[in-house]
Amino acid sequence: MKRFLCIIFLYVFVASCKPGIPDDVIDPDDMALVLNDIHIVDGYITTVRPDSSKIVASSLYRGIYKKFHIDSAKFYKSMDYYYKNPAIMDVIYKQVNA
């Protein structure tokens, strides 16, 4: 009986350890807000002269990173994670499009 209970306990323990979103990845709700701002900036950059668009884009992206207390490395790491998990990315973009 003890062996059976140990097996049940072990099964419950392993089943409860579902992999979640890593700590170094932006939360999906926050990522939706970040992407919303990123896409607004991307749209604006298309209206800027090509010779100055890189400078303007860099400045605006830094402003977004500062607003959300992240850096470009965390943003790109989060994008990479969500690209590998398209179901979560789909939920994020449903929030962006709402």
Query: How would you write the pLDDT of the chain (98 residues) with one tens digit per residue?
Result: 655 444 554 444 444 444 688 999 999 999 999 999 999 999 999 999 989 999 999 999 999 999 999 999 999 999 999 999 999 999 999 999 87
In a domain, 72, yes or no: yes
pLDDT of residue 98: 73
pLDDT at 8: 52
Residue at 2 is within a domain? no
- CA distances from residue 42 to 12, 18, 56, 57, 98 in whole angstroms, order as listed: 47, 36, 11, 8, 18
Residue 45 CA to residue 54 CA, distance in Å, equals 8
Count of residues making up the chain: 98
Confidence (pLDDT) at 1: 62
Q: Please give the tally of structural domains in the chain.
A: 1
Instruction: Tell me how crowded residue 44 is: count the other CB atoms within 10 A of its CB.
Output: 13
> Where in the sequence is the domain holding 46, given as residue range(s)?
23-97
User: What pLDDT score was predicted for residue 4?
Assistant: 46
Q: Residue 87 domain-assigned?
A: yes
